[in-house]
Structure 1
């Protein structure tokens, strides 16, 4: 079997899909994307596929090594995300060739269903509570929210207390039976993080995500040793080498993104490294259905899985875009806060190519928002 061609598709709301074709009629799908930089990743996919066309798609590890290291310059979000989408598609082909789900090729499932969480949104505490209660009524047992808007390096007492009050309102309304995760989104400085974590400790968050920007990862130990709250990070780390320096800092949860961190092949290795440090894995996934399907394959195969992010309920998605690209959306039916183990071959989904092509005809040019502080200076999104 040989790879004979490929296509990329820029589709709303901010995603990119990849289809790789073989001479035996088996095609695989992947999702190579950096949100806001889709065109750059599209170019990197084109460059990598120059090597891959004509190759045997089943030699995944050989191809991963060549594509990751053979260009001399390596790593970073664009190259790693292009490689990630290609890797997903190759695993999809291999699973379809052997007529088994990818997790069967990774050693078989260690669980029968995967716990997922959803996002809550609102302009004030009352709206957050209302949205959270609606999500819980749908069966979700864990929610996540952005804790604050843009913050100065040293927030005022009013800003800190306003952020904490969001969680207080949710905990009072939901009780202790629902997990609440908090995303700092890199908006807090190291000093601000150390200010607010003690105020949040009595509310028992499931974890605090990305309390520091990735360039300050060396300071994570100062944060983890200052709080009892589990610390999570990793959506902007792209390889096992990036995680090598973070895992010993005392984080509780690693969050590699299967469309950024080298695909199924690399995230499996990152998960194994994390296990050696007693660190759980909660894959980052505010993306499309192919990324989610690939993430579920990893979730089913690793022992230190915690919980899975998914993009239903994220406001940018515009309704059910995640499901619109699937022939059978029921594969992502959530019940009691879980999704059942997919048993279809490959990634376990069937992409609706007609819908994908129609969406790609319109394309998108999504860019990350640029936020400003009150004084007009740049603020972290």
Structure 2
């Protein structure tokens, strides 16, 4: 193994995904620790089955990783993070897996968790599994299948990583500060008219001032559903859309009904809709808190200038079905033996003539 990095699959879990305050104010489902443990165990088992040499697991305050792999055979190591009980743990785990040169990472969480992973490792080769509240970016895939696909990529058995995913990139210029700030979202960024980050979830529809989305799926819930229900944008299509909402007490150009949380609908007044071409920049006002992928994050003053663009600079998503199809066609799942090929009787021997 000297001079060569062992083929590695990383597994990152957010123990708090699917458990936030939105369960108190909406019909959002609950993703338990037991469910996450089961998924993680299946991912690890699938990766080991497919021949990966090392599995790296993120640790957390709930000890999900240790519980998930108990009794599994294979080279399993734990990434010892800060254990803050916050999104910083996810960021740190992704950064450590980058340093360890993991060939693929499987992340369990929602849109916010996926964003945190890419903060730690911007171009991570990623399979995101949805266990959060807003699940526009991740998808529902069986853990066993995800582990096998991750191992096929990590071992180099299949080379078919796609182009980088899109991101909403923001440059925030605050008067009086020496340097501008940069941030990004994987699905959407929004300005929320409030003074505090608070519980992070966006629950008041009247507080939303604008939304910029690079994925606008009308079947989604959360802030992305606002864009999705007026100007759908596929994840594999270039560019995005800018939606400006009317100020409270004023009428917009149209009204729409959107599910801002699972099972909960609101009426919004849309002021304007503007398609945003790839790498074109739009300038938007501040005055509130910026939310990224459904979670309030960064307070900005009313004097701030916010420049927003859509760029293909996100993670490299691993298409599980495509990877497995390629592997099947190449015979990657065939059982290899050293014995001679079986000898079948000829037609003459069969009929005795």
Give TM-score, length-normalised by structure 1: 0.25
Larger Rg: 2
Give TM-score, length-normalised by structure 2: 0.26
Q: Which has the higher helix share?
A: 1
